[in-house]
Chain A
Amino acid sequence: MREKILEITNATMQFGGLIAVNNLTMHVSYQEIVALIGPNGAGKTTAFNMMTGVYKPTSGFVVLNKENITGMRPDMIAQRGMARTFQNIRLFKALSVLDNVIIAQHLRLKSTWPGAVLRLPRYRAEERLMHERAEDLLRYMGLWDVRHEVSASLPYGMQRKLEIARALATQPTMLLLDEPAAGMNPAESDELTGLIRGIRDHFELTVLLIEHHMDVVMDISDRIYVLDYGNLIATGTPEEIQSNDDVIRAYLGVDEDEA
């Protein structure tokens, strides 16, 4: 069996009286593409926030590349190879497309700030490399032509792509995508499916994504986890999930007494 890159064990997230994620256990193995699905408010984004350090789990563990990262700050987790995109796009709005991608490489910078101010040879070499890598990424993601534009001025679909490019710029081993196809038209989301697969192969990544577009999910996923009201109600291959009664019930929103 392939090694587990990301492993969540009995993770619970409680906000006051609300249990947003309840005792979640799941894993993603090397170079897998796994989907986390569920109705609105099921706790998917909260699960991402626990994995990336935005929230500290009330209880349970998160392990990345065999290291316990539970309770670490988001920047420390990013350093260790986890990158993410945001459901409600969070680009560096006033900055150019290129700058968005260059900034995301700052965490790999070795030069100190005095070295950067003095533009020492080592810093200049690092800066050049950051530029080249950013340009490669923008070409790869089809954002080359808009690289000098203010990121907030891009159309929605391109902003989503830029979010992915920015996440890739941190040189992750584990990529978390929160609804990458949200707001995209069928053609765009179709293209996205191929793009995510391509990214996985090209950058040798492991991918966990949240997605509402079922055609995307069923097409792209090796395995699927289904959350409902914070509880894991099913897990399996796309075929298994499609024919799972609990999942159908959760999605159709049928009440017990009605059924």
Chain B
Amino acid sequence: MKQKQYAEGALPRTRQRKITSTLLTVALLAALAAALYALDTNASSLVLRIVRLCAINVVLALAMNLINGFTGIFSLGQAGFMAIGAYATALLTIPAAKKAMIFMITPLAPPLDQLTLPFGTTLLIGGLLAAGAAFLVGVPCLRLRGDYLAIATLGFSEIIRVLITNAQGLTNGAQGLKNIPPNATVWWCYGTALVVVIFMALFTTSSYGRALKAIREDEIAAESMGVSLFRHKMLAFMLSAFLAGMGGGLLAAFNGTIGQDMFRVMQTYNVLMIVVMGGMGSISGSVFAAFVVTIGQEWLRVLDGPMTIGPFHTDGISGLRMVVFSMLLLVIIIFFRNGLLGTKEVTWASIGRRLSAMAGHKRKEAAS
């Protein structure tokens, strides 16, 4: 028999179910914490890098999913917002003595040259600055439609790079910044990712999140039902930029050095690939795809090295893995337009349904 088609999150939840899923979530988090602890103490630094990068990509993917997936606005400005957050965190965490050494051509403008702040604070400041930039960009851009908005936000992202290159006394220009303290520990990365996941879950299921989905589904209908398009798009755009700024800050601390070339359009595409693969409008999809893509990209690194395939030998084609990954993205877009999960979420209830369906199937097989 054909199963009834249920919309996302539509099944009624009893109190019993709620308690069960809360317990399961707590258990999952405890297991995750234990696994991270084990990795943190035992794993090689290379493995730890990948593990931490996964969490940073979760933050970045969710930031982009909020605007591109949930609100249906095709923005390509993320690298710009990340750059703002990354430079903010770098400038506010590098110790004063090291700053004097880094800024050799033009000294860093006061009071930044003496100022250092706790890492968490700098992440928030980076996020707030990115959100401020989003406001300035959003005022003219969010009134645009479709492709025009994509191009305008892409332009903004490039402008940020030009500004970084030229604001020597603030960003050290083309030389970039180094000696950024390695604050992006496993705990900071996963702590931030967890907070962002929880925030996204609460926000997207709130009345405001529903309004964003309404805009995605049909702007004219949403507006006619009283949803102010500009205010809600701006809210989504600024929140997305805030999260991207925090992700950029984490990335700066993770890398230790940053430069304007880190924030090219390629960076935006990289995150877009995760979002599309996981499903535009699915939080669990983005989380899952962040891990798959991050680990996959490391794994495919062999492609960039020297290879011998039959009679052919190369000394390594740098960028080959990106070609392979871009092709994967194309395949996903062409054949699985909704990504792994579409707009659906993996919840305990959905896993339960799936399991009981499988059990029912088995029973039927046994009976026949």
Contact = CB atoms under 8 A, between A and B. Distances in A.
- Do A and B pair up? The answer is yes
Interface in A78-112: 78-79, 83-84, 86, 90-99, 102-109, 111
A96 B6 CA distance: 8
A45 interface: no
B218 A91 contact: yes
A149 B214 contact: no
Contacts of B213: 92, 94-95, 99, 103
A79 B223 contact: no
B10 interface: yes
Interface string A114-133: 00111100010011001000
A59 interface: no
B206 interface: yes
A113 interface: yes
Nearest to B11: A148
A78 B220 CA distance: 12
Contact of B208 (A79, A93, A96, A113): A113
A75 B217 contact: no
B226 A104 contact: yes
A14 interface: no
B202 interface: yes
A73 B223 contact: yes
Nearest to A93: B217
B115 to A, nearest CB: 28
Interface in B227-265: 227-229, 235
Contacts of B229: 75
A15 B7 CA distance: 40
Interface string B194-217: 000001001100111011011001
Given A92-B213, A150-B5, A107 B226 contact: yes
A102 B210 contact: yes
Contact of A74 (B203, B208, B218, B223): B223
Contact of A170 (B7, B199, B210, B225): B225
A182 interface: no
B202 A107 contact: no
Nearest to A176: B224
Interface in A161-188: 166-167, 169-170
Contact of A149 (B6, B208, B210): B6
A74 B224 contact: yes
A149 B223 contact: no
B225 A107 contact: yes
A97 B8 CA distance: 11
A198 to B, nearest CB: 22
Interface in B1-15: 4-8, 10-12
Nearest to B228: A75
Interface centre among A54, A104, A127 (most CB of B within 10 A): A104
A121 to B, nearest CB: 14
A111 to B, nearest CB: 7
B223 A92 contact: no
Interface centre among B12, B226, B228 (most CB of A within 10 A): B226
Interface residues of B, number: 32
A40 interface: no
A52 interface: yes
A153 interface: yes
B343 interface: yes
Interface in A125-152: 126-127, 130, 147-151
Contacts of A93: 217-218
A99 B207 contact: no
A92 B214 contact: yes
A91 B221 contact: yes
Contacts of B5: 149-150, 153
A92 B228 CA distance: 16
Contacts of B7: 94-99, 148-151
Contact of B10 (A99, A119, A126): A99
A118 B203 CA distance: 9
A86 B208 contact: no
Contacts of B224: 52, 54, 74-75, 78, 83-84, 86
Interface in A41-99: 52, 54, 73-76, 78-79, 83-84, 86, 90-99
Contacts of A96: 6-8, 10
Contacts of A104: 225-226
A35 to B, nearest CB: 21
Contact of A116 (B207, B218, B223): B207
22 contacts: A54-B224, A74-B223, A75-B226, A78-B225, A90-B221, A91-B218, A94-B343, A95-B217, A96-B6, A96-B7, A96-B8, A96-B10, A98-B7, A99-B213, A103-B210, A103-B211, A106-B211, A106-B214, A117-B203, A147-B10, A148-B7, A166-B225
Given A148-B4, A150-B5, 13 more contacts: A54-B220, A73-B228, A75-B228, A92-B214, A95-B8, A103-B207, A113-B206, A118-B202, A123-B207, A147-B10, A149-B6, A151-B7, A169-B225
